[in-house]
Structure 1
Amino acid sequence: MSKQGGLPLAEQGTSCCAPMAREPLGEDDAAELSRMFKALSDPVRLRLLSLIASHEGGEACVCELIGPFDVSQPTISHHLKVLREAGLVDCERRGTWVYYWVLPATLARLSALLQAPATAMEVSA
């Protein structure tokens, strides 16, 4: 799968949530977003996402993701699978190795959802 093709509309950035402070989430959006937040609630997965996002070139080989953790390779593979199934990363096999990258549209969607409106107190400070 290429980095751009074959993604669901929500992951392509064509569907975005309004900030929760403006309007309540619908049932489908809440279910989808909760899977993403649940995936990010594990410290190893959050660190994996950070390592991938900050890696030079925006993608990282699975071989580069195993060293920083005190867990086995199968455990890292499981965590990467959870991130992939949540729509936070995608991957591509190249020969023996699998390369991962973060899906920016999904992170932008999460960020937009969590935006809080400026209050009068924040504006005057």
Structure 2
Amino acid sequence: MPDLAVSTPTLAPSCRPGGVVPIDRHEATAQATLLKAVADPARLQILNLIRSSPSQEACVCDMTDAVGLSQPTVSHHLKVLIEAGLLRRERRGTWAWFTLVPERLREIALIFG
């Protein structure tokens, strides 16, 4: 009759480099949301347009031609960037002006820093 004894497997030591603990799911979700906001060519163009302007701000009226998209599409991308906390919006008359939120941009750099 064969031996039916169950053996307990030996647990391998941790494969994590240097015993580093991964970030928790909540933090990973927050970081992924931030990265998704900039993971679009049009949004990167918008951020670069604002960053490279002398006053570090731009009017939505100047963005459509600069990025080659329609006003509703640019507005959608701006909304995503605002919701991610990367831009601030200020109404001036009939136009909306946008500025960067430097702290949020630094957070992107810190994700991989």
**Fold shared per TM-score above 0.5:** yes
Name the residue aligned to 1:80: 78
Structure 1 residue 23: Cα displacement: 5.3
> Could you say what secondary structure the match of 2:29 adopts?
helix
Match of 2:104 among 95, 103, 106: 106
Q: Match for 1:75: what amino acid?
A: T
Could you tell me how far apart the structure 2 residues matched to 1:41 and 1:106 are?
Answer: 15
Structure 1 runs (4+) deviating above 4 angstroms are: none
Q: CA RMSD in A?
A: 1.3
Summarize deviations over 1:16-63 as a string: whole Å, max 9, x none. Answer: xxxxxx652222221111111111111001111111111111111111
Q: Match for 1:34: what amino acid?
A: A
Name the residue aligned to 2:90: 92
Match of 2:25 among 24, 27, 35: 27
TM-score, length of structure 1 as denominator length: 0.70
Name the residue aligned to 2:40: 42
Name stretches of at least 5 consecutive residues in structure 1 with no aligned partner: 1-21, 116-125
Name stretches of at least 5 consecutive residues in structure 2 with no aligned partner: 1-19
**More relative contact order in 1 or in 2 (CA 8 Å, sep 6+)?**
1
Q: Match for 1:73: what amino acid?
A: Q
Could you tell me how far apart the structure 2 residues matched to 1:30 and 1:57 are?
Answer: 33
> Could you say what secondary structure the match of 1:57 adopts?
coil
TM-score, length of structure 2 as denominator length: 0.77
Q: Which has the larger radius of gyration?
A: 2
- Number of equivalences: 94
Could you tell me how far apart the structure 1 residues matched to 2:21 and 2:70 are?
Answer: 43
